[in-house]
Chains A and B, each alone.
Chain A
């Protein structure tokens, strides 16, 4: 039995209307993520603003992707992964006992590092997700809207029946974004969405993100500091804790502050390229 997020949202609104959690798209409280006994991410407290782009940066292996995948419970598929603490969306803990992870993922979409379209037609790539989520409206319209929103429509409108693998890498990634949009999530997670793309495709994805944030909250993990500085409104800096060797957020602020006047010396070293 799961309680729909929307029902829960209404009930919390009526009883705890004064709660400030309502302002955030998603919020973590004392979040620890384990793989078996190994503490991978420790004590993360983030408040992600609605309709903004929040970047998570930090060196390799510091748990950026692990944290990102905790937001839509993708870590459920990793053997032995478990979570302590809370991830709150509309005041509902996404790790609560009565929460259906399938419903969570339907509201929090994800774009992966490597474009991973289904080996189906371009049209079907977008229609599939909508269909399994019970979309009953005009599918042609939805496919067109999603492709337009992902700035891909003009390039593919004449070959919707062709296999998605015929597209270039950058087009495939935009198709994956269109596919995520078509289920109409509130939040889109992006795990280094441009790291396998050439600079021009990367630029197009970044422009697209600026367009998308008018309607969606975006959380992006990136290795590329220039990219974080260019696209994001807020930045979370992650690093391994020197004692526990678990990744943690050492500084979280608006992007400008992080890149110009960071409070933490380690952040300053990292963003100025003097790390290590």
Chain B
């Protein structure tokens, strides 16, 4: 049936107006559902932390280990009752720093090129290619590190680099994070209003001066977010380090050596047949809690840096 609109003028005959409150059940139901979903995500996060804490508590209650040893010792050898977390943390930090040293400068450079220099056509070709890198499974990256990058490093630097080493794992991890870094940074740079670029150009700045001194500082909060995500990816990455950086826990910051990260250790140990409630089993939760804390601290640090140095535009 076709509705015929004769006129949009207000009706000439007014019925008694009804301005009384109506019950809108659909609205209320939707609001309720959305609220529940929001609560659920918070609840899940909290319960994970709770389970971690609870199980880790069992670990620290064990007479074989003390919190002081856990946080004070640099030797991790569960077989002989040594539980010094720093042996694992050092490897996580070393590989993550190497990864970020690769991903941040390269990712930011790629983002600046794509956002400030590349023509629309070049960008429409390059960006999808870069994002394909993000789709490669990390196990492939792991073998790439072990089978290609490590031999390459050994042929360049020499045999003081082991077959398993943190340098190779860190470099490849950086390549893995690169597309994420560049894609997120590019979005942040793109969001900077064009009027700021025009202001810079109109003062006689080159593209590079405008990009580096006006656009990047204005996009710093978005770039910072990219770095935060990158840090979390690096700290949490498991497969690459499990394959390429070795299975011996060792307190070292020397990237040429092999050392096991927290994640790789968890993956290796939990793959075996650990008996429930054994000290090895419980130690996994303590490591996981530590991993959580390291990520949290790095996130807070990044957020603080972003707040300190960003330039806010309205």
Contact = CB atoms under 8 A, between A and B. Distances in A.
Contacts of B193: 116
Interface string A77-109: 101000000000000000000000011011101
B198 A163 contact: no
A77 B213 CA distance: 18
B213 A79 contact: no
A118 B202 contact: no
Contacts of B28: none
Contacts of B204: 102-103, 105-107, 129, 132-133, 183
A118 B198 contact: no
A118 B195 contact: no
A120 B215 CA distance: 11
Contacts of A34: none
Interface string B164-193: 000000000000000000000000000001
Interface in B180-221: 193, 195-206, 209, 213-214, 217-218
Interface in A123-176: 128-129, 132-133, 163, 165, 176
A61 interface: no
A120 B218 CA distance: 9
A179 interface: yes
Contact of B198 (A79, A106, A112, A183): A112
Q: Max chain A CB contacts within 10 Å: which of B195, B203, B313, B314?
A: B203
Contact of B205 (A79, A110, A129, A180): A129
A186 B121 CA distance: 37
Contacts of B39: none
B202 A109 contact: yes
Q: Max chain B CB contacts within 10 Å: which of A112, A132, A163?
A: A132
A269 to B, nearest CB: 33
Interface in B289-314: 311-314
A109 B218 contact: no
Q: Max chain A CB contacts within 10 Å: which of B195, B205, B206?
A: B205
A103 B201 CA distance: 10
B157 interface: no
Interface in A45-95: 72, 74, 77, 79
Given A132-B209, A183-B204, A114 B195 contact: yes
Interface residues of A, number: 28
Interface residues of B, number: 24
B120 interface: yes
B119 interface: yes
Given A79-B120, A120-B311, A165-B313, A74 B203 contact: no
Contact of A119 (B201, B203, B218): B218
A259 to B, nearest CB: 30
Nearest to A79: B120
A176 B312 CA distance: 17
A258 to B, nearest CB: 28
Contacts of A180: 202-203
B149 to A, nearest CB: 40
Contacts of B202: 72, 74, 105, 109-110, 112, 180
A77 B204 CA distance: 13
Contact of A112 (B199, B214, B311, B312): B199
20 contacts: A72-B202, A74-B202, A77-B197, A102-B206, A103-B204, A105-B202, A110-B202, A112-B199, A114-B195, A116-B199, A119-B313, A120-B217, A128-B203, A128-B213, A132-B205, A133-B204, A163-B312, A165-B312, A165-B314, A179-B199
Interface of A: 72, 74, 77, 79, 102-103, 105-107, 109-110, 112, 114, 116-120, 128-129, 132-133, 163, 165, 176, 179-180, 183
Given A102-B206, A105-B204, 18 more contacts: A72-B202, A79-B120, A109-B203, A110-B198, A112-B198, A116-B195, A116-B196, A116-B198, A116-B199, A119-B312, A128-B213, A133-B203, A133-B204, A163-B312, A165-B312, A165-B313, A183-B203, A183-B204
